[in-house]
Structure 1
């Protein structure tokens, strides 16, 4: 395996291999440290969601008391989305050469500091431009959460168990998303000086995030070799789908980036697939309240908000099921699970579209739950496939590259694109387009699946050859 300690990042650089641990100590130490590292990235990543975009939580207050108007709220929200999409890729390039134990807590702490500044320095929220600039900075530091998590997952969990573990880890964003709502509501009630005081929704979660950052620093370990343990592939006798060849170990970082990410057929295809998956994810989610209240004539806006919550909660179940299926049913062939889930999304969206407006509201809720549960599987899988189908030294960058396409193109199509379709052509054309996007996603996932299967066959042949040589 390539030496992943290079990087030239000073104190942030990935550590070199440590002194080998005695044979009799490997198993208990391995089990303890990887369980510990997983807890670190789970709660660490949940901590990022405590302070990602708290503007949305207090948007009504900001609008009512003229801190931001509707346009200003949109600009500030998009600043976070845009910067996060960029950072998820560019910071991943650093993360692949950095010590995850330092990189993730540092990003979380910096994001927390930005939120504290917004809360306690009034001038920073005095204009749309300054507020958006601060949230852009916040989004950039937020991009330091996913890449080191992916680095820990790929180094501490091998291919045939990584689907299940990644699906559990992916639920951290649901934990953080729920936690920020509860924490912000409590802080506003306990510390808000008036109904116009929105600052506690920023500083209280930020303080908690700082403690989470400390926990992550204490628990995360960069990779097994750094503490004298064998690689995860050796420990579990489970070769990676893609390994860096010996002649590539000294390859300059830029050449490695171009070869294994920017010009890698399967990674580029995954990135394009992610555009369609994110379009479906947000194309349904963002418009649930509008569709239910305007087209289905739900009683009031709260019925639409309930649908929004159902969609997100169902995503937890779907993510876990998809990760389990990719490991146990499809034996590590992630595309197989992705194809099943995407096909289910298409069927569910079809029923959601064609269900008569006079049908009971609970039927719409059931379909919303099915769509949410199914779409979050491929959302998780594409990041997992990116780290599965690239060498470990660029795994985070590959995942960040797919995320860049998902956030900058997919999310934009889902908000602006769907909005334009609804406004000028109506819901029937909009849903027909979403069904077309499902077909495109299936085609691209199928193409990726063929390449993935070839890699898996090569991996199995190598494993059999090694067993025959023993």
Structure 2
């Protein structure tokens, strides 16, 4: 039986009881339920399936994303390559992923969400499998370019699935929970590769690509079958039909506007989207400025043992998961005050950075690392929520991609260059003072858009 509803109800012309101007979201939902009870029940069941595909699908994205990075040292030694060659291959992914997140986001607004998501995920898995058997530098470089391009479609399309099926009040919490999928996938892949290495021994590097890749290939067919398109494409009601003004962001979108008019007006020329994109760049600078330089700073500069800074790295990633769930709970309680929540989180992160850069105690390091994980990924998921809350849903993919472009091309690449330059020519204190200042700046920028958020997200 098809998972899509093939009924012929004309939702735009259903006759509803009149509600007062101050009617609540629940009253709108109850009105629709009374008018079309079977459709409402079907919509709720379908929404859970769509979320499950978006969440577990993005976990799978990370199972075929970092395989080369995690095994790069073994690959370097097997092929007799220089460290710079590994760096060039890794940069290939960053470049194409950043730009593809934008362009593939635009594409996802124009095509079937489930097909671009499942197709790109399956393609990523096949590229991952191929990489395990390639030992030519330039061919690996080319495969990483393709991998970055395919992976760039996954975040915009999976987030757009959630945005199109969840109303204002629960959209934020849905995106917040979805955000933990990257932590689950990112933390799970090293465990899988470690298990494979323990069982396979020397010469098992290719299995770290093959086994996760085959697993994801199989699941991509499941996601193709059950992934979510926009409700109206599945002959289901739009969110505004069910929830009234509480269904979609109130951004004065005119339905007759063409896609490119909407894209120009609400994405690339929107001051609010540009501020959100700048905040995202700051967050990526903070995230990778801390994570990528933990071995050099904690090991060489601060004198921690290897197992200590690796443990701190792991703690940061794992504590980010309950941290994101905390922010998800806050998103439910304050659905149109996400900017204020993000501001508080970044100011708290600034204080932790100050403690982190002068600390020599291992226990304190673990505590601070865990809290930094929560306050990096927490405000980062607020960026995702804000992005979807300030644009029309038909431009959701493009907005996610545009904001993501700033994160990778501006934020991550700057962190990879600025942090070591400042450390070598001045000191690590100078590098971390930049992180401290950027966290404060990000908190202030969040406050700039708080009034606009309250205006367009009725909750």
TM-score (norm 1): 0.87
Corresponding residue number in structure 2 for 1:200: 207
Corresponding residue number in structure 1 for 2:443: 442
The Cα of 1:417 is off from its aligned counterpart by: 0.7
Corresponding residue number in structure 2 for 1:262: 268
Among residues 235, 238, 241, which one is paired with 2:242 in the alignment?
235
**Cα contact 2:176–2:331 (8 A) shared by 1:** no
Corresponding residue number in structure 1 for 2:8: 19
Corresponding residue number in structure 1 for 2:405: 404
SS of the aligned residue for 1:56 comes to helix
Corresponding residue number in structure 2 for 1:152: 161
Among residues 200, 213, 223, which one is paired with 2:220 in the alignment?
213
**Cα contact 2:168–2:247 (8 A) shared by 1:** yes
Corresponding residue number in structure 1 for 2:66: 53
Paired with 2:187 and 2:351, the residues of 1 have a C-alpha distance of: 29
SS of the aligned residue for 2:132 comes to helix
Q: Compare 235-244 and 194-203 and name the one that shifted more.
A: 235-244
Corresponding residue number in structure 2 for 1:417: 418
The Cα of 1:361 is off from its aligned counterpart by: 0.6
Q: Residues 179 and 215 of structure 1: is their aligned pair in 2 closer, same or farther, counting only changes over 3 Å?
A: farther
**Cα contact 1:108–1:209 (8 A) shared by 2:** yes
**Cα contact 1:103–1:144 (8 A) shared by 2:** yes
The answer to whether structure 1 residue 176 and structure 2 residue 177 are counterparts is: no
The Cα of 1:152 is off from its aligned counterpart by: 0.9
The root-mean-square deviation of aligned C-alpha atoms, in Å, is: 2.1
The Cα of 1:431 is off from its aligned counterpart by: 1.9
The Cα of 1:353 is off from its aligned counterpart by: 2.4
The answer to whether structure 1 residue 304 and structure 2 residue 293 are counterparts is: no
Corresponding residue number in structure 2 for 1:11: none
Paired with 1:174 and 1:377, the residues of 2 have a C-alpha distance of: 12
Paired with 2:385 and 2:395, the residues of 1 have a C-alpha distance of: 13
**Cα contact 1:339–1:446 (8 A) shared by 2:** yes
SS of the aligned residue for 1:39 comes to helix
Corresponding residue number in structure 1 for 2:29: none
Corresponding residue number in structure 2 for 1:373: 374
Among residues 28, 44, 52, which one is paired with 2:57 in the alignment?
44
**Cα contact 1:187–1:200 (8 A) shared by 2:** yes
Q: Residues 443 and 164 of structure 1: is their aligned pair in 2 closer, same or farther, counting only changes over 3 Å?
A: same
The Cα of 1:402 is off from its aligned counterpart by: 0.7
Paired with 1:338 and 1:148, the residues of 2 have a C-alpha distance of: 24
Corresponding residue number in structure 2 for 1:76: 89
Paired with 1:453 and 1:67, the residues of 2 have a C-alpha distance of: 57
**Cα contact 1:389–1:452 (8 A) shared by 2:** yes
Paired with 2:315 and 2:197, the residues of 1 have a C-alpha distance of: 25
Paired with 1:178 and 1:240, the residues of 2 have a C-alpha distance of: 34
Structure 2 unaligned residues grouped into runs of 5+: 12-34
Structure 1 unaligned residues grouped into runs of 5+: 1-14, 461-470
Among residues 245, 249, 253, which one is paired with 2:253 in the alignment?
245
The answer to whether structure 1 residue 131 and structure 2 residue 136 are counterparts is: no
The answer to whether structure 1 residue 277 and structure 2 residue 256 are counterparts is: no
Paired with 1:25 and 1:284, the residues of 2 have a C-alpha distance of: 51
SS of the aligned residue for 1:101 comes to helix
Corresponding residue number in structure 2 for 1:341: 345
